[in-house]
């Protein structure tokens, strides 16, 4: 039995809580909001973030961070990328120094361009860390459906150990050494899923959707490599694997946000779509690194109101013809 603490009572934190509590680990989830804590402890439900799923008895929640961190061996940080700095500033001091911190957010911090691993390393130098990413919808994982993900750490031995500790009978973790490549794939696929959703929502067809996924993958590979990721990582579960999942299913909140964009629907009540916060900084990073990333730039332009979806499609189609591979 391992002692897990989970920071964040949203969909993904609750799903991972289900997974490890069911596997027999001591699993305590820290959530800020009292309603979420009460719902998990009293009704075995997280009606707001993970409706329709009965949570296991072994999963408990608390709004007391010290209680959650008490002798924790693994601490999963499962808050949105833009909230991670604040969460670490509030809770970092309570994390036992030898606990493995596992970063689960998929995004880039807007103001600084940092990935989660950089945020954690700067705030908590010396803390062992791993990054968990890959194709994995919270509801699927909470239901115990088969899932395969990547777990990356700088040291191979730590990555192997993390993969062993975080795998269960249904949740298969592949160890990797390329932390940046894994984080880049997870962040960029969300931006590209907005584009894929918008294309489908606008009624442009399955062929256009496939074109966006494929050309989007070219951008993910180019920018991911410029940021320091290895080519093979970007074609793995956390890159191509998650891109395919997120760009093809309305279960994805990013794809669903894109659908609403394409249809011209109101987007104010939609769930978290990390790509909305990552698009602009991703476009800026691409520019800084001299990377041609027209789909990412177009998503950023649509979100900032500089372009509508029809004009964006026209300008993508009007780009000069070029070789597919150069
Ligand atoms: N939902 C999914 O299927 C998956 C989500 N992820 C990633 O996990 C991250 C979190 O996503 P979800 O849980 O789905 O989002 P969510 O919107 O369902 O929940 C986010 C939770 O974080 C909490 N939170 C925000 N700031 C906090 C802070 N400073 N301290 C404590 N709690 C705080 C919120 O109260 C909320 O409970 C995102 O980066 C997402 O891309 C990754 C894989 C799957
Ligand atoms: O990251 C995910 C699946 O791997 C979840 O995608 P969404 O955040 O778009 O729902």
pLDDT per position as a tens digit, 64-94 = 999 999 999 999 999 999 999 999 999 999 9
Q: State the pLDDT at residue 326.
A: 75
Spatial CA neighbour of 75 closest among 104, 107, 111, 46: 104
Question: 3-177 — its CATH code?
Answer: 3.40.50.720
Q: 130 phi and psi, to 5 degrees?
A: -140, 160
Q: Is 287 among the annotated ligand-binding positions? A: no
Q: Is 22 near ligand 2, meaning CB less than 6 Å away?
A: no
Q: What's the gap in Å between 35 CA and the centre of ligand 1? A: 16
- Cβ count within 10 A of residue 122: 12
Q: Which CATH architecture has domain 180-317?
A: Orthogonal Bundle (1.10)
Q: State the pLDDT at residue 195.
A: 98
Residue ranges covered by each domain of the chain: 3-177, 180-317
Spatial CA neighbour of 97 closest among 76, 117, 72: 72
Q: What is the pLDDT of residues 142-195, one digit of tens each?
A: 999 999 999 999 999 999 999 999 999 999 999 999 999 999 999 999 999 999
Q: Is 27 near ligand 2, meaning CB less than 6 Å away?
A: no
d(CA 263, CA 227): 33
- Ligand 1 atom showing the smallest separation from residue 141 Cα: 3
pTM: predicted TM-score of the whole model, two decimal places: 0.98
> Residues 9, 185, 299, 301: is their CA dihedral positive or negative?
positive
Q: Does the active-site annotation cover 322?
A: no
Q: Which residues neighbour 257 within 8 Å (Cβ) at sequence distance 6 or greater? A: 194, 197, 267, 270, 273, 275, 276
Ligand nearest to the CA of 16: 1
- What are the tokens at 276? 């909305």
């Amino acid at each position: 039995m391992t002692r897990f603490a989970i920071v964040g009572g949203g969909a993904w934190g609750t799903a991972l809580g289900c997974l490890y509590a069911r596997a027999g680990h001591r699993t305590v989830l820290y959530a800020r909001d009292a309603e979420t804590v009460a719902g998990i402890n009293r009704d075995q439900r997280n009606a707001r973030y993970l409706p329709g799923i009965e949570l296991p008895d072994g999963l408990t929640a608390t709004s007391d961070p010290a209680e959650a961190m008490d002798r924790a061996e693994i601490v999963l940080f499962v808050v949105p990328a833009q909230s991670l700095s604040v969460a670490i500033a509030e809770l970092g001091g309570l994390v036992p120094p030898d606990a493995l911190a596992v970063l689960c957010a998929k995004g880039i911090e807007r103001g600084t361009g940092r990935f989660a691993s950089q945020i954690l390393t700067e705030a908590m130098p010396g803390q062992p860390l791993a990054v968990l990413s890959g194709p994995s919808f919270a509801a699927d994982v909470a239901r115990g459906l088969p899932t395969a993900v990547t777990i990356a750490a700088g040291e191979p031995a730590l990555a192997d150990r993390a993969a062993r500790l975080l795998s269960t009978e249904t949740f298969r973790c592949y160890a990797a050494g390329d932390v940046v490549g894994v984080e880049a794939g997870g962040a960029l696929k969300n931006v590209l899923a907005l584009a894929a959703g918008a294309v489908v929502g606008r009624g442009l067809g399955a062929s256009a959707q496939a074109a966006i996924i494929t050309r989007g993958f070219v951008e993910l590979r180019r920018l991911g490599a410029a940021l320091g990721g290895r080519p093979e990582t970007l074609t793995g579960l956390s890159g191509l694997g998650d891109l395919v999942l997120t760009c093809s299913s309305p279960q994805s909140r990013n794809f669903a946000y894109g659908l609403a964009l394409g249809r011209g629907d109101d987007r104010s009540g939609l769930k978290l779509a990390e790509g909305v916060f990552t698009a602009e900084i991703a476009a800026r990073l691409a520019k800084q690194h001299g990377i041609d990333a027209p789909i990412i730039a177009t998503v950023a332009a649509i979100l900032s109101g500089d372009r509508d979806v029809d004009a964006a499609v026209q300008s993508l189609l009007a780009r000069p013809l070029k070789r597919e591979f150069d």
